Amino acid sequence: MTVLLCVSASHKTASFDLLERLSTRTGPIAPVIAAHDDCVQGAVVVSTCNRFEAYVDMDEPVTAARAVGVEAALLAIQSATGLTAAELDGSYDVIAGPAVAAHLFAVAAGLESVIVGEGEIAGQVRRSLEEAREAGTTSAELERLFQRASEAQRDVKNTTALGRAGRSLVRLGLDLAAARVPDWRLARVLLVGTGSYAAATIAALRERGATDITVHSPSGRGERFARKHGIDWVDAGAYPAAARHAQLIITCTSTDGPVLDAAILRASPLPVPPVAPRRLVIDLGLPRNVDPDVAGVPGTELLDLETIRLHAPLEELQATDAARALVQDAAHRFTVAGSRRAVAPAVVALRAHVFEVLEDEIARVRARDDDGRTEQALRHLVGRLLHTPTTRAHELAEQGRADAYLDAVEAVFGIRVDAAAPAVDDAEAAG
């Protein structure tokens, strides 16, 4: 029997420092989970700046699956990050069974983000599945789970105001910076990083009127990125001077170590115009891109993800409620479809058995030169007789009693169905 499990550490359960350590890993995690035990059918890892989650597909009774799945996830995390189970204790939740779908659908829709409704998470969830496919660690049930999560996210985005009400981390960071930036048109901005956050940052800066934007890429992609977006760029040699002369520095790169520290900023004082502006550094990176010691540089203020989280706006209750209702409905439909898939092999086997008996009986009737009315009556009778067992199969499955139906089919008809038999599609499962 397939059981879904999720080991989740997020901004709601774990400290920022622990999440940072989880994001700084030196080895793969999903492949290690998938190789842990024969009952592990697959694994997908979702890792963002504010959450780390391992989704595991288990072929095992629920009681055993929880322990084996959690053990697999914790050992994989330790091998990749060095974090022990003792260090993680109390910093993660374990979600199992139907609740996994409801949780992932809410995550993908942005309902569990620091900024409710933020849009970046949907793409991160999709990329997590793609990475699992490339690593060969996904499974049929995890594919179904993540594909339905993307569908639920699109429904929420298209039918509620959540996407419009929610703001991305980038935009919230710039909103908080607005009080420190008297005139965006005159602000000298240095952007460190060339990923999706960097592109979103440029768009948000231009909306506010910023034009003096320079980019630096620790990975060497700055020139190409700058040409694509029509901005200036600096290489590693010119970067320190650019940092010292910027009034606003925004970092959003995936490098392991800090790309900015106090030593860089102290090498030369900030230019002093008639009214000296304060230098603001916004660190959107995880792990941290900026050493906390920059806050000790005179005239410099540091705004990091943890600080941004504390300033997250109140949820737009009406939009959030509507989105959660959609997510719960999608999760229920996912669970029902999965339950029906669990008993579908038994339903198909029972119908095949009954129709085999029917065809034998029809052949015998035809041999007596029947005019067709007996055959018609037999087919009608069998259809009537199969209706209740098929309906009961779906009812028992939705109640979590699929095993009872499998046992009954074997006890009454002598038909043994392997619980791990290949699942049929949702249409066939409906009978």
* Closest to 251 measured CA to CA, from 227, 208, 207, 217: 217
Q: How many CB atoms lie within 10 A of CB 58?
A: 26
Catalytic: 49?
yes
Q: CB pairs under 8 A, 24+ apart, for 421-429?
A: 421/345, 422/345, 423/140, 423/341, 423/342, 423/344, 423/345, 424/341, 424/344, 424/345, 424/348, 426/337, 426/340, 426/341, 428/344, 428/348, 429/337, 429/340, 429/341, 429/343, 429/344, 429/347
Pairing of the two strands 51-59 and 40-48:
antiparallel
* Distance (Å, whole) CA 297 – CA 243: 13
DSSP 8-class letter at 343? H
User: What separation, in Å, do the N-terminal and C-terminal C-alpha atoms of the chain show?
Assistant: 20
3-state secondary structure of 214: strand
Catalytic residue among 6, 39, 49, 252: 49
Kindly list the catalytic residues: 49
